[in-house]
Amino acid sequence: MAGTRTPPGTPAYGPGSDAGQPSTPPAPRRGRARATAGSGRMAALLVSPTLLVLTIVVLYPTLMALNESLHGPKGLDPATGFIRTTEPFVGLKNYADIFGAAGERFWNAFWNTTFFTVVTVGLETVIGVAMALIMHKAFRGRALVRAGILVPWAVPTAISGLLWRWIFNSNGIANALVGHQILWTTEGFHAKVAVIVAEVWKTAPFIGLLVLAGLQVIPKEVYEAARIDGASALRQFWHITLPLVKPALLVAVLFRCLDALRMFDLPYILIGAQKNSVETLSMLAQNEASNVRFGPAAAYAVLLFLYVLLIALAFVRLLGADLVGDGAAAGRRRGNKGGRRRIPAPRRAEVSA
């Protein structure tokens, strides 16, 4: 539905090339011009408070961080011998340190973050899709499943960290089930495993819910046709289900990735601060900041920000994730392939946990 609007400034396209929405006649030129002029002023009025707030709480701190990352700690001034009250400008030293002296801790955190993101999002996607398929097949008890599946999402991450620390306690239920005495919450690879298990538990159900929403829009006839053509269940999944839920899945995975890249609460509570095996970039930056080393902390924060930005761009550019979700761009791109049904992109809120 949203694709029926033509944003001003984009070249108009004929009704024939539109993605199967013949019901909207092109607006008369005069009428639209008037509407745009009037609504422009109103839009400015309605949108500016939000933009103002976001400028204050996001843009300004980001610029501050950028500035701060170029400054060193207060301390003795080597020239005068007095304690400085301002922080000296040190240029790119904080960044240079990352590739030198402080490098080990940064790169460890960097690889932990990357490892957690890749593994958790991968597992979540597989488990989530499997859950969605199961829920899609089951006609009775769907309300029960939906109720159950929302529970991990609603549990605060901090509380789930405590819950899993209790489960992974040396005398806890996890060891009772495994039958080994594993000290899960001490340094080592098992700590990573504990974090991954807890994270996947919390977020996989929600990917499942989003994919289910995507599955429910696929018309039954498509499957009937495939069955008549003799496609096996596996081939139906691979050639019909997966391509058709791809837009919904892609956006879900993108948001999950970005969320995993800033992971903080879970490893912090489940394992603890300053543990090499699980320290993520967010934890590293927070730790440095709370120890009043603002310069390096800001440098880590800026690098994490750039990393997140890079991944987001890669998703949007390379995989064509439809971020805004109004389908305008996607509709135009796909318009000529003819009557393919668009699956609505999942709503942002549901992806963030």
Binder among 305, 320, 332, 334 for other proteins (CB under 8 A): 305
CB 263 within 8 A of CB 203: no
Query: Would you count residue 1 as binding other proteins (CB under 8 A)?
Result: yes
Q: Which residues 97-136 are close enough to bind other proteins by CB under 8 A?
A: 131, 134-135
Q: Which residues 275-304 are close enough to bind other proteins by CB under 8 A?
A: 281-282, 285-286, 288-290, 294, 297-298, 301-302, 304
Direct distance between the N- and C-terminal alpha carbons of the chain, in angstroms, rounded to an integer:
28
Pick between residue 1 and residue 76 the one whose CB is nearest to other proteins. 1
Nearest distance in Å: CB 314, other proteins: 13
**CA-based nearest residue to 353, from 131, 146, 157:** 157
Helix (H) or strand (E) holding 125: helix 103-137
CB 42 within 8 A of CB 272: no
Q: Which residues 223-242 are close enough to bind other proteins by CB under 8 A?
A: none
Letter string b/e over residues 46-78, b meaning 16 or more CB atoms within 10 A of that residue's CB: eeeeeeeeeeeeeeeeeeebeebbbbbeeeeee
Pick between residue 102 and residue 297 the one whose CB is nearest to other proteins. 297
Query: Would you count residue 332 as binding other proteins (CB under 8 A)?
Result: no
Nearest distance in Å: CB 234, other proteins: 15
Cα 146 to Cα 46, 149, 245, 343: the distances in Å are 36, 5, 19, 20
Binder among 19, 106, 117, 161 for other proteins (CB under 8 A): 161
Binder among 9, 16, 179, 338 for other proteins (CB under 8 A): 9
Name the one range near other proteins by CB under 8 A: 95-103, 223-231, 319-327, 330-338: 319-327
Pick between residue 187 and residue 243 the one whose CB is nearest to other proteins. 187
CB 78 within 8 A of CB 282: no
Binder among 92, 162, 217, 310 for other proteins (CB under 8 A): 162
Nearest distance in Å: CB 81, other proteins: 25
How many residues sit in the footprint of other proteins (CB under 8 A)?
A: 101
Name the one range near other proteins by CB under 8 A: 13-21, 57-65, 96-104, 233-241: 57-65
Strand partners, 83: 76
Residue by residue, DSSP assigns 236-293 as HIIIIIHHHHHHHHHHHHHHHHHHHHT--HHHHHHT-TT-TTT--HHHHHHHHHHTT-
Nearest distance in Å: CB 46, other proteins: 4
Q: From CA 277, how far away is CA 268, in angstroms rounded? A: 11
Query: Would you count residue 347 as binding other proteins (CB under 8 A)?
Result: yes
Query: Would you count residue 314 as binding other proteins (CB under 8 A)?
Result: no
Binder among 15, 32, 183, 310 for other proteins (CB under 8 A): 32
Nearest distance in Å: CB 227, other proteins: 15
- What does the DSSP 8-state code read for residue 172? S
Q: Which residues 186-225 are close enough to bind other proteins by CB under 8 A?
A: 201, 205, 208
Pick between residue 227 and residue 347 the one whose CB is nearest to other proteins. 347
Amino acid code (one letter) for 3: G
Q: From CA 307, how far away is CA 258, in angstroms rounded? A: 9
Q: How many residues does the chain have?
A: 353
